[in-house]
Amino acid sequence: MGLLDEWGNALVEEGLREAADTFFGARTALEDEIAFFESQAAKLKTQVENIRSWFAGLNCLLGNEADTRFLFDSLGVTLDDPTLYTHKVCSLQFRRPRSFTRKGLFAKTVWEIYEPLARMIESYMHGAPYSDPLHPGRVMISVNHDHLRKLCDEINTRIKSVNESNRPSESLAFAKRMDQTQVFKESVTGGGGQTWTLDRDLAFAPLVFEDLDLPDFPDLPLDAKARATLEECCAKIFSRRRDHVDSILDEVFDPEDKTICVLDRPGR
């Protein structure tokens, strides 16, 4: 082999190496992004059942769907998932409130579930600030629904770009053109036509956010007006359903524990 042939082979190898780096590099980077997205979605998903459990706790305290709807309608909140008005499978521990009257105690107990629920939803939907353990003084935002939905859209944009501009058939065709002997054989035998299926078989499927079972939860107001509205609703429920209120308060208030209330309704 002469010097010119060696130089030509070196150019071919360099071209193939660069083509492979471009093709596999883009795909590997996208696969890493998808894997990161899926790991963040898994973290967020663990919060969903906890939120549902606290909704169920409210349902248990209020007693029935009609009064749960009454409370949320009064607060100006609509739950898109109708099961949130009826679900009663819960396991909660919350701070024990104090009051001079049973009516006041009922309202405060409902608030002790409503307030943590509102904060859980805020963290789940929009994130909560926390200190970066690796960089003191730096504040981070926890994984949240808003960020994941935006990230899903961004990854889908990159998926479309990779599928359109980094097609396997084009990379394979480039590699074949480097081997003129193979090109000649395929031109004579009519081979190589099957490569078009690579684009379809190796294309990245778009992410479907709705398939992740990460529902939207509405923000729950926590201002003084919201608390006053909640107390008014609880007073009306107390006046017309006193038997239920007495029963549920007896269930959650353990006379031996002066700090913690427990509400545990396992599924059947």
pTM: predicted TM-score of the whole model, two decimal places: 0.80
Token pair 């990460």: residue: 214
- Which long-range contacts (C-beta less than 8 Å, at least 24 apart) are formed by 117-120? 117/51, 117/54, 117/55, 117/57, 117/58, 117/220, 118/219, 118/220, 118/221, 118/222, 119/222, 120/47, 120/50, 120/51, 120/54
Overall domain count for the chain: 1
Question: For the chain, where are the alpha helices, taking DSSP H only?
Answer: 3-62, 65-75, 102-126, 145-165, 168-177, 180-189, 196-201, 224-240, 242-252
**Residues in CB range of 208: below 8 A, 6 or more apart:** none
Q: CA Rg, the chain, in Å? A: 30
CA-to-CA separations, 202 to 18, 27, 31, 166, 198, in angstroms, rounded: 20, 10, 12, 11, 6
pLDDT in tens, the chain (268 residues): 444 444 444 444 554 455 444 555 678 888 899 999 999 999 999 999 999 999 999 999 999 999 999 999 999 999 999 999 999 999 999 999 999 999 999 999 999 999 999 999 999 999 988 777 777 778 878 999 999 999 999 999 999 888 877 555 554 454 445 554 554 445 444 445 555 566 665 678 899 999 999 999 999 999 999 999 999 999 999 999 999 999 999 999 988 888 999 999 887 5
The answer to whether 203 and 163 are in contact (CB under 8 A) is yes
Q: Domain limits at 162?
A: 3-265
The CA angle 159-151-46, to the nearest 5 degrees, is 120
Q: How far apart are CA 194 and CA 213, in angstroms?
A: 38
| Residue found under tokens 């998903």 | 45
**129: enclosing H helix or E strand:** strand 129-131
**Could you tell me if 117 and 51 are in contact, meaning their C-beta atoms sit under 8 angstroms apart?**
yes
